[in-house]
Amino acid sequence: MIGLAVSPSITNASAAYSNNSWTLARSASNTALAWENHNLPFTLPLSYNGAALYFNFYNSDNDLVPNTNGNDLVLDDITIKIRVSALSGTVFNDLNGNGIKDGVEAGINGSATPLYAYIVKADGTVMAKVAVSATGTYSFNEAVTAGTGVPYIASDQGLKVLYSTANVAVGGSVSAAIPPAGYGILRENVNGNTTGGAVDNTAGDGIINLTNTSTDKTNLNFAVNALPEAYPENKFVSSQPVLTNLGDIPLEGRDPVDQPTRTSWSGRTVILNPPSNGFILKYNGTIVTTDFLVANYNPTLLTIEPGPSTPGNVTATVFTYRVVDGAGLQSSPVNYTVSYATSLPVVFGAIQANLSGSTLTVNWQTVSELNNDRYEIEASYDGTNFIKIGEVKTQSPDGNSEEALQYSFTKTLPGQLAGIGVCVSIGGISF
């Protein structure tokens, strides 16, 4: 008889593996023996990151056996087959935004553009690919991966499951999830678990990072939600650019869950961006900066006005806004356009105001004036409600000038404005 011992040598293994041995028949003559098929089951540790697997074979018959012929050993057709785990789940429309597929929430695969599920390596290389069904389900198993020619195996570390409308072949690269048109990524979960556990969840990226590929996994689910929609707005002001409240033309939007019809987005979240042409947009007296978040939008608190850098020949300004639904998804940006009947008669240079006790001093420069009569100075303690505190006549005899002119105004403020910081407005321009 001859014995054969086989032991896998695993680089960087975190666990030891015992030898597996079989006793092989030994021929008593020169007749060939039938091939024997032996299996060696083993599981690689999750820490394994070696480039290859090595198997050592040992002939355990060191002595000649009387009356037998030879002790040659031939190894042929060595097949290493590692178990392929079955992975399945659903891409679904998460109506209530909780990240869990509830009974009334249907799967979705994108009607106009097909949707695909992928298993990728840590570097994004596609290991397996299946089309997401019309009901939003997908399934990977041994038959599927055999068809791709690149089976995913338990030894592959950093595997990810994701979905995308991009049609990428096996061996290509997919690094980010792309939901169907009109939908946004919410989060991922496994069997209702949205906080981790069997997977490493980064909520909102459309990717499930597998921490164990040695067992089958079901309900690897992906929650998407229809995006809200914002609508372009237009407001006409029948005068030159002045401080204008935008409450009568509110920001509007719709959302399939929160608000099915187009209406004012009052009481909901909006994101604002600064206007063009040097105009100043304010919400509740605060100047709007890039991606300015308003959590509980009140249309009456939004104002727009020309700024010191607003050109004198401008008759319109545009700012963009986005609406945000209850699930936190944002619409695409749209324009809000404010048009004026006439342009500013004055192009301002530097403007400066100083409040010392109850005395207000305002100095300003004009670069040019067109048909200008006077400057009205207003003050406000809240940046929203202004009162006129004086006026200054133009220095140009006919109201027209192409030269820089200097102006100054001093006033002891009334009681409700004295002693506190004020917002000053000259001809509709606040600072």
Query: What are the DSSP calls for 7-35, one per residue?
Result: EEE-TT-SS----EEEEEP--SSSPPPPP
Instruction: Please report the pLDDT score of residue 354 as a whole number.
Output: 85
Residue 111, token pair as written in the block: 């009607």
DSSP string, 198-226: TEEE-TTSSEEEES--SS-B--EEEEEEE
The amino acid present at 78, given as its one-letter code, is I
Q: Which amino acid is at 389?
A: I
pLDDT in tens, the chain (431 residues): 344 555 454 444 444 455 566 666 666 666 666 777 776 665 555 445 555 556 666 665 545 555 555 555 566 555 554 455 788 899 998 887 777 888 788 888 766 678 999 988 888 888 888 999 988 999 987 555 544 544 455 445 567 899 999 999 988 999 899 998 888 888 887 765 544 444 444 557 889 887 655 667 888 899 898 899 999 999 999 988 888 999 999 999 999 888 889 999 999 999 999 999 999 999 999 999 999 999 999 999 999 998 878 887 789 999 999 999 988 889 999 999 999 998 877 777 788 888 888 888 989 888 888 778 888 888 777 666 778 888 888 888 888 888 889 999 998 876 655 444 445 555 545 54
Would you state the structure tokens that stand for residue 305, as one six-digit string? 């006005």
Residue among 207, 201, 210, 217 at smallest CA distance from 155 = 210
pLDDT at 209: 82
Are 362 and 379 within 8 A, CB to CB? no
- Cβ-proximal residues to 167 (8 Å cutoff; 6+ apart), any chain: 114, 116
Q: Which residue has the tokens 């089958």?
A: 216
- pTM confidence score: 0.60
Q: What is the CATH number of domain 229-340?
A: 2.60.40
H or E segment to which residue 146 belongs: helix 142-148
What pLDDT does residue 118 have? 92
pLDDT in tens, 105-156: 888 876 667 899 998 888 888 888 899 998 899 998 755 554 454 445 544 5
- How far is CA 50 from each of CA 12, 56, 128, 212, 348, rounded to the nearest angstrom? 7, 17, 22, 17, 70
List C-alpha distances in Å: 34 to 42, 59, 73.
26, 18, 13
- Sorted by where each begins, the domain ranges of the chain are 1-80, 87-226, 229-340, 346-430
Answer whether 229-340 and 346-430 agree in fold. yes
Q: Would you state the pLDDT for residue 101?
A: 83
The predicted structure's pLDDT at residue 420 = 44
Burial (CB < 10 A; 0-12, 13-18, 19+), residue 150, is middle
CATH topology of domain 346-430: Immunoglobulin-like (2.60.40)
Q: C-alpha 43: how far from its chain's center?
A: 37
Query: What is residue 80's predicted lDDT score, i.e. its pLDDT?
Result: 52
How far CA 304 is from CA of 204, 230, 273, 286, 410, in Å, comes to 35, 20, 12, 11, 26
Domain 87-226 fold is: Immunoglobulin-like (2.60.40)
> What amino acid occupies position 380?
S
Residues whose CB is less than 8 angstroms from the CB of residue 330 and which lie 6 or more positions away in sequence, other chains included = 184, 227, 228, 271, 322, 323, 324
